Structures are given as structure tokens and as C-alpha cells.
């Protein structure tokens, strides 16, 4: 399938790599299908591009790459909704806010996007009763803990 986007022009979408959002992104609940694009493996910022509306794309980052000790509590209902069988089958992404000062880029740790990489199902989850901030400085903790690799990406993610 080919879609026309405002950021990347016309791109081919492989249906097997489409992430199906169970309830859409906050403010964009009507859009349910996205593809994750990685322009450069060395750059931690990726694009979550809507397949249904080429003008909608979110800058995202691997949440554990920003905060290696990030451990949001996901309810059993959400685990069941996303058909998660093992934590290893998931990736946590955070929406990034880009500012004019590159040292003030923030990630939303209060509302992570949980993706089941085996089923390609996802949901943006609002963490209630959580101390995780909506604006966590990306430069605060940009390295993985010593002895651990940074978490991987969705195996089917494509590169532009």
C-alpha cells in the first residue's frame, strides 16, 4: 500500500508492519493504524506515522532509552487487551516534545505507548497514580544502565 505523507512524501507501507492502536493516540482516537519509521539507527528519535492520515506523525523515543529504570504499571486489563504473553514481547515508546532549545527536549513518561511486537497491537496508556512526568528531560538519563544494552526496537520497524 502507498500513502502520501507531509514529512516523507509518498511511501510504501507493508501491511505486516502496521501497528494497530486499540484506542488511538490521545487527541487522535479516530486514527488506529501506524507504522514506526527509523531514519537513522544512531538517532534515538523515531516517527510513529499514521497510515490513515499522512499529515499525522508523532516523534517518539524508546522510553527505556530515556529512563533505564522506567517501570510503568500496566493493568491486567490492558495486558489482556494487547494480548501480551511476555514482557519481552513489548516495547515502550514515549511521545517527544521538540523545543527550540535541543537540550530541553522532553518525553511523556506519564502516557507511554505500549506495543506488543508479536501481535503488532498497541495502546497509549495513561498512568494514573504515577509519579512519572509528562515532560521528562530526554538528556536526563540517555544511557542504558551499566552492563545492560539499550532496549531493541520493534523487529519489523522500517527505515526510511
From its phi and psi, is residue 16 left (phi > 0), alpha (psi between -120 and 50) or beta? alpha
Domain count, the chain: 1
Q: How far apart are CA 99 and CA 84, in angstroms?
A: 34
pLDDT: which is higher, 60 or 156 = 60
Average pLDDT over residues 113-119: 96
Q: How far apart are CA 159 and CA 36, in angstroms?
A: 9
How many alpha carbons fall within 13 Å on the CB side of residue 59? 12
In a 3-state reduction of DSSP, which class is residue 136? strand
Q: How far apart are CA 114 and CA 128, in angstroms?
A: 15
Sign of CA dihedral 131, 48, 14, 18: positive
Q: Range of 83's domain? A: 2-159
Measured CA to CA in angstroms, residue 33 lies from 53, 122, 126 at distances of 9, 10, 19
pLDDT band at 143 (very low <50, low <70, confident <90, very high): very low
Domain of 139, CATH number, reads 2.30.290.10
Residue 61's CB is within 10 A of a number of other CB atoms, namely: 21
For 96-115, what is each residue's pLDDT tens digit?
A: 998 888 778 999 999 999 99
Sequence-ordered list of residues with C-beta below 8 angstroms from that of 94, at least 6 positions apart, any chain: 60, 61, 62, 63, 66, 107, 108, 109, 111, 112, 113, 136
Q: How far apart are CA 50 and CA 48, in angstroms?
A: 7
Measured CA to CA in angstroms, residue 14 lies from 49, 90, 98, 117, 158 at distances of 13, 20, 28, 15, 9
pLDDT band at 128 (very low <50, low <70, confident <90, very high): confident
pTM: 0.84
pLDDT at 56: 97
How many alpha carbons fall within 13 Å on the CB side of residue 46? 24
Amino acid at each position: 500500500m502507498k500513502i502520501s505523507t507531509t514529512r516523507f512524501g509518498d511511501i510504501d507501507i507493508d501491511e505486516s508492519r502496521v501497528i494497530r492502536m486499540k484506542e488511538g493516540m490521545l487527541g487522535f482516537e479516530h486514527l488506529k493504524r501506524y507504522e514506526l519509521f527509523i531514519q537513522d539507527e544512531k538517532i534515538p528519535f523515531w516517527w510513529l506515522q499514521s497510515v490513515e492520515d499522512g499529515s499525522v506523525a508523532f516523534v517518539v523515543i524508546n522510553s527505556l532509552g530515556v529512563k533505564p529504570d522506567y517501570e510503568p504499571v500496566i493493568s491486567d486489563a490492558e495486558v489482556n487487551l494487547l494480548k501480551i504473553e511476555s514482557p519481552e514481547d513489548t516495547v515502550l515508546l514515549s511521545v517527544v516534545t521538540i523545543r527550540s532549545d535541543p537540550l530541553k527536549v522532553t518525553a511523556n513518561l506519564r502516557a507511554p505507548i505500549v506495543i506488543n511486537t508479536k501481535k503488532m497491537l498497541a495502546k497509549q496508556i495513561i498512568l494514573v497514580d504515577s509519579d512519572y512526568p509528562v515532560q521528562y528531560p530526554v538528556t536526563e538519563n540517555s544511557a542504558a544502565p551499566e552492563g545492560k544494552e539499550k532496549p531493541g526496537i520493534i523487529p519489523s520497524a522500517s527505515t526510511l
